[in-house]
Amino acid sequence: MAFTGNENQNISLGEAIELTTRYRESVSPAANLAGFFGKTILQKILSQPGCVGIRIYHGLKKEDNSQTFVLVGADSNEKDLYNGDLAEYATPCPPFCDLNSPLHS
């Protein structure tokens, strides 16, 4: 399957709540629940020649073994654009969370 950048990956709020609830119930209370990436780095990755989307890898930080995400652009041939812009340093949740979000509670 080639990537087009127009894949239908929309889900309902109910589905999102189910997914995040199951995750929270499967990890320790101290686990990262989410990470925030600003639009500047997202636009930088998406603006690379041939980029049709972003692939998100799970990672573990060396210093404290905490979960993180690594973002890399992907082209229509399903290839990572690893020689381009990459992102990690997500702002972690917790402690930077929307406590009123149905995806968090």
Q: For the chain, give every domain's residue range.
A: 33-105
| Rounded distance between C-alpha atoms, residue 105 and residue 100, angstroms | 7
**pTM: predicted TM-score of the whole model, two decimal places:** 0.84
pLDDT at 1 over 80: no
The whole-number pLDDT of residue 62 equals 85
Mean pLDDT of 19-39: 90
**pLDDT at residue 94 greater than cutoff 80:** yes
In this prediction, residue 58 carries a pLDDT of 87
pLDDT at position 68 is: 85
DSSP the chain: ----S-------HHHHHHHHHHHHHHS-TTS--EEE--HHHHHHHHTSTTEEEEEEEEEE-TTT--EEEEEEEEETTS-B-TTS-EE--PEEETTS--TT-TTT-
Mean per-residue pLDDT of the chain:
91
